[in-house]
Amino acid sequence: MEIIQTENLTKRYKRYKKQEGLMGSMKGLFHREYEEKTAVDAFNMTVNKGEFVGLIGPNGAGKTTLVKMLTGIIAPTEGTIQVMGYYPNKLEKAFKQQYAVVMGQKSQLFFELTTEDTLKLFQQIYNIPEDQYKKNKNFFVDLFQVKDLMNVQVRNLSLGERMKMELIVALLHNPKILFLDEPTIGLDAVASRQIRTFLKDVNESKGTTILLTSHYMEDIKVLCKCSIVMNHGRKLYDGNTDLLFEQYQKSKKMTIYFENNADSGIPESCRILEKTKDKLVLEIPKEITEKVLEFYIGHYSIRDIGIEEEEIGSVVERIYREV
């Protein structure tokens, strides 16, 4: 059953074109020139109930704009949009009662208060009965193992801890859809992994439909069965995530830290992305990842080694080349 559906969805921003210099600014006071920017362009998408969909694209692709339209924060310029049967920008209370949105940089928490305080406030805002409130709170607090952080002033939490709190606040009222705009931005590997595990759990145990945007390939690989790739406001790929990786993910990024100043050899068909005294970053074809790994571990003394997914930019480029 479709819970989100858009057709031909388009958003054009009008940007005030600032003219140069003082004279230009003065002129701008009386006569303004605008330029149009199409942030989302004839976008069609469908999300089914209970799905965990990844929306991935480089910076400026239009991901946030899309999420803003889906949550009703801004109105589309053209096209149709339907979320749980509502037109989001009407901002009906019944609609707002049924979803939640977490944006990487925008906090719902009160920095001066504790998470516990914010939760109590949100209980009132969403009219959550006491028993459901307790049950939900305990469920999420256990899942994240953040019991001892609940009574800490939010300003004293780390970014990763705060994001966990943000998610708990967002999920307290059992939303049917959870929109996440770059929830892992700026987080370290450990915190990102915890957030991912948590989201997967929520999706599976509560059946919450989740739409997650990111520009990290890692995020969608682990979480989303279906993915949408977008760039310049347009959809480039929509389908199975595994298939996406198989077709367009040709290489991986390997970062090696050497124990001592090692001038290492580079295996064939690898490309150097960065090289310093004791650090080497390589782009390697994904089929030979294991061999390269063995090569380095066998021949050099290594302090640390990490393998990451290729950056979204390269994947997008490859998709462009094929179509």
Partner 1 sequence: MKKYLEIAKAYMKTQLIWRWDTFIDVVLAMAKVIFAWILWSILFEGKEQIAGMGFYTMISYYIISSYLFQLDKSSEISQQMTNMLRNGTFSKYMVIPVHTQAYFVAMAAGKIVFSACICFFTTILCFYFSGISFVAAINIKILFCGAIMIALGLLFMAELNYFLGILTLKFEEISTFLMIKDNFSAFVTGAVVPLALLPEWMLSGMRYLPFYYVTYLPSMLLIGKQG
Ligand X SMILES: Nc1ncnc2c1ncn2[C@@H]1O[C@H](COP(=O)(O)OP(=O)(O)O)[C@@H](O)[C@H]1O
Distance of alpha carbon 323 from alpha carbon 305, whole angstroms: 35
Nearer to Mg ion, 61 or 280 (CB): 61
CA 120 to CA 128: how far, in whole Å? 10
CA distance 60 to 74: 17
Choose the contact partner of 108 out of ligand X, partner 1, Mg ion, none; CB within 5 to 8 A by kind. Answer: partner 1
> Which of 76/173 has CB closer to ligand X?
76
- Provide DSSP, 251-300: EEEEEEEESS-------TT-EEEEE-SSEEEEEEEGGGHHHHHHHHHHHS
- Answer with the entry of ligand X, partner 1, Mg ion, none that 276 interacts with (C-beta below 5 to 8 A by kind): none
The residues that touch Mg ion, with contacts defined as CB under 5 A, are 64
Nearer to ligand X, 39 or 187 (CB): 39
139 binds partner 1 (CB under 8 A): no
Kindly state the number of chain residues that form the binding site for partner 1, as judged by CB under 8 A.
29
What amino acid occupies position 58? P
Q: How far is the CB of 63 from partner 1 (least distance, A)?
A: 14
Q: Is 59 in the site for ligand X (CB under 6 A)?
A: yes
| Residues between 28 and 57 that touch ligand X (CB under 6 A) | 37, 39, 57
Please spell the DSSP secondary structure of 151-184, one letter per residue: TSBGGGS-HHHHHHHHHHHHHTT--SEEEEESTT
- Out of 54, 72, 76, 233, point to the residue binding partner 1 (CB under 8 A): 72
SS3 assignment, position 206: helix
Least separation in angstroms between residue 73's CB and Mg ion is 13
How many residues line the site for ligand X (CB under 6 A)? Answer: 12
54, 62, 88, 175: which one binds ligand X (CB under 6 A): 62
d(CA 111, CA 140): 20
Query: Does residue 235 interact with ligand X by CB under 6 A?
Result: no
Nearest approach, Cβ of residue 77 and ligand X (Å): 12
3-state SS, residue 311: coil
**Six token digits for residue 132:** 């459901």
Is residue 6 within 8 A of residue 79, CB to CB? The reply is yes
Q: Which does 15 bind (CB under 5 to 8 A by kind): partner 1, Mg ion, ligand X, none?
A: ligand X
Locate tokens 């959870």: which residue?
A: 178
Name the segment binding ligand X (CB under 6 A); options: 44-52, 58-66, 156-164, 241-249.
58-66
Binding residues for ligand X, rule: CB under 6 A, are 13, 15, 37, 39, 57, 59-65
